[in-house]
């Protein structure tokens, strides 16, 4: 008597392919966030009340080592004005917000020229501050 073998079919399980693709999209979306400056160390100053930022065109950061960054790129104070002017070009008043993330211990010799440079090019300052816990 000839016994027939059952045909063994080996298929790649494709049920989870949709989930895998979706998760990969999410991972790359998180990694590719353009304004991610979480690796810079800075300690925010505090305030009693805070407004929410809108129409942010540029982010200026001064970290705990007093290094200056514009949109995550380290620059010198002399370059700040020109670069900001290019970033703010064409935007009307009310839509030229420049976020300032300045570490609380930064001295006036560091942040005052930054404030002056942003004001000179018509940027609208928004100091990023931590709300005080009462």
Partner 1 sequence: MKIRRRSKLLVEPPTHATGDIAFNLIVFFLVCASVQPETGREQEIPRADPKQEQSQQSENIEVSLTRNTVAINGTPVRMESFPQQLKSLLQGKRNASERIVVVKSKPDTPYEFWIAITGRIEELGGYVTLLLEEERTITLQ
At CA 57, angle to CA 114 and CA 52, rounded to 5? 90
**Contact positions with partner 1 (CB under 8 A) in 35-54:** 45-54
Find the distance separating the first CA and the last CA of the chain, reported in whole Å: 89
Q: Is the dihedral of CA 45, 50, 53, 57 positive or negative?
A: negative
**Alpha-carbon span 7 to 77, nearest angstrom:** 74
Question: Do 77 and 112 contact (CB within 8 A), yes or no?
Answer: no
Nearer to partner 1, 8 or 34 (CB): 34
Least Å distance between CB 86 and partner 1? 18
At CA 70, angle to CA 45 and CA 58, rounded to 5? 80
Of 16, 31, 32, 34, which one interacts with partner 1 (CB under 8 A)?
16
Stretch of 3-11, 69-77, 81-89, 96-104 contacting partner 1, by CB under 8 A:
96-104
Q: How many of the chain's residues bind partner 1 (CB under 8 A)?
A: 45
Nearer to partner 1, 88 or 111 (CB): 111
Q: Which residues contact 73 (CB under 8 A, 6 or more apart)?
A: none
Least Å distance between CB 71 and partner 1? 14
Contacting residues toward partner 1, per CB under 8 A: 16, 19, 22-23, 26, 29-30, 33, 45-54, 56, 62, 99-100, 102-109, 111-113, 115-116, 119-120, 122, 124-129, 131
């Amino acid at each position: 008597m000839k016994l027939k073998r059952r045909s063994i079919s080996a298929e790649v399980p494709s049920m989870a392919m949709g989930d895998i693709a979706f998760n990969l999209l999410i991972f790359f979306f998180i990694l590719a966030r353009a304004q991610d400056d979480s690796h810079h160390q800075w300690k925010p100053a505090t305030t009693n009340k805070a407004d929410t930022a809108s129409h942010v065109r540029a982010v200026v950061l001064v970290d705990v080592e007093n290094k200056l960054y514009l949109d995550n790129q380290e620059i010198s104070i002399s370059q700040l004005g020109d670069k900001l002017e290019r970033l703010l070009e064409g935007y009307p008043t009310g839509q030229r917000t420049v976020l300032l993330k300045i570490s609380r211990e930064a001295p006036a010799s560091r942040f005052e020229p930054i404030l002056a440079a942003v004001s000179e090019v018509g940027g609208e300052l928004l100091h990023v501050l931590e709300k005080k816990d009462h």
